[in-house]
Amino acid sequence: MSKWRNIIKTLTYSILMLCVVNGFAQNDRLNRAQQLLQSKNADLAKLAIDSVIVNPETKGDYVSWTTRAYIYFEIYKRSDKLKLNSPLRDTIISSLKRSNSLKPDETFATNNKKLLSNISAGYFNLSKVLLMDSVNYKNSVVAYNRFKENFILAEPGTNFSSRDIEYYLAAGSLYSDIFNKDNKNTSAQEIAKITLLKVLDIQPENPSANINLGIMYYNQAVNLGKGLDYGADFSQIDVVQENIIKLAKQAEQFIIKVYKVDNKNVKAVEALHSIYKMLNDKAKEEEFKKKCKELNIKID
């Protein structure tokens, strides 16, 4: 009996020892991963940390997850910074989220925040490159929204209104420019409308959005007139006139909002003169012609 008791005791100690050794082994792997990260050997560090975060002993430790995020970040920096979709970046973000959910101490919380800010800044720069260099609004807005999603994780409660206005105005200006240069580019026109209307949702009186939208409608009307064939019959002329009037009145709605707030706004006065001329409204055309002269705006 006592023999069996000794065997069971020995076995229990052995199992306990194995568990402790295994725990040490996992902590060793975490240390190893951290050392590899410090020595800029991120690829080996990645292998080590990936085993750490699946082990029951260490997967509940925020240190493992933050370390993983930083290791993946080193690899991400090398190749994925300009990619809109990057599994490496996704792993960094999910690791940071996991670490934050495990209530990290102040140092780790600060490090998590720093890395999230860095990732969101990367998305912001990407949105800029995609918009201005690649003229790819569809991808740019995805990057911009991801910038906001990650930024708010780092800085909860951030109000993005002014940033949204600047972003959507930039996109709206760019695409209305494209449309004004090539009036057959209706997708550019649509993007310009969508983005400028988003600005007006946030700030209905925004002068740039109102003026750019108004001028876009006005120029669209001009293009209809330009496209009218000289041999068009009276019924065709009538249809084109109807459409031009509708567009000119839409343009007026946007521009007049700016004029009512600032009756010396040069762009608004100039645009209203053009709109009333298009609408054959002689009285208002003359009124705004005078205002143009007062403000030294060259017309005709």
Partner 1 sequence: MLFFCVISLRFQQPSNYDTNSKFKAVFLYNFTRYFEWSDKKKVGNFVIYVVGKNENLISELKTLASKKKVGNQDIEIKNSYAFDASINANIIFLLSDQSKSLADITSKNKSKSTLVVAENANACKAGSSINFVVVENKLKFEYSKNNAIKAGLKTNDDIKALAINIE
Q: Which is nearer to partner 1, 112 or 208 (CB)?
A: 208
Give me the least distance between CB of 20 and partner 1, in Å please: 53
- 40 Rama class: left (phi>0) / alpha (psi -120 to 50) / beta: left
Angstrom distance (rounded) from CA 98 to CA 153: 12
Phi/psi of residue 182, each to 5°? -140, 95
Residue (of 202, 196, 245) closest to 216 by Cα position = 196
Q: Which is nearer to partner 1, 29 or 291 (CB)?
A: 291
What x/- string results for residues 166 through 195 when contact with partner 1 is judged by CB under 8 A?
A: xx-xx-xxx-xx--x---------------
- 104 Rama class: left (phi>0) / alpha (psi -120 to 50) / beta: beta
Q: Which is nearer to partner 1, 114 or 282 (CB)?
A: 282
Give me the least distance between CB of 222 and partner 1, in Å please: 4
Q: Site for partner 1 (CB under 8 A): how many residues?
A: 53
State both tokens at 254.
């946007």
Angstrom distance (rounded) from CA 123 to CA 117: 10
Angstrom distance (rounded) from CA 122 to CA 90: 13
What x/- string results for residues 216 through 235 when contact with partner 1 is judged by CB under 8 A?
A: x-xx-xxxxxx-xxxxxxx-
- Check binding of 165 to partner 1 (CB under 8 A): yes
The residues of the shown chain that bind partner 1, judged by CB under 8 A, are 128, 132, 163, 165-167, 169-170, 172-174, 176-177, 180, 208, 211-212, 215-216, 218-219, 221-226, 228-234, 237-238, 241-242, 244-245, 248, 267, 270-271, 274-275, 277-282, 300
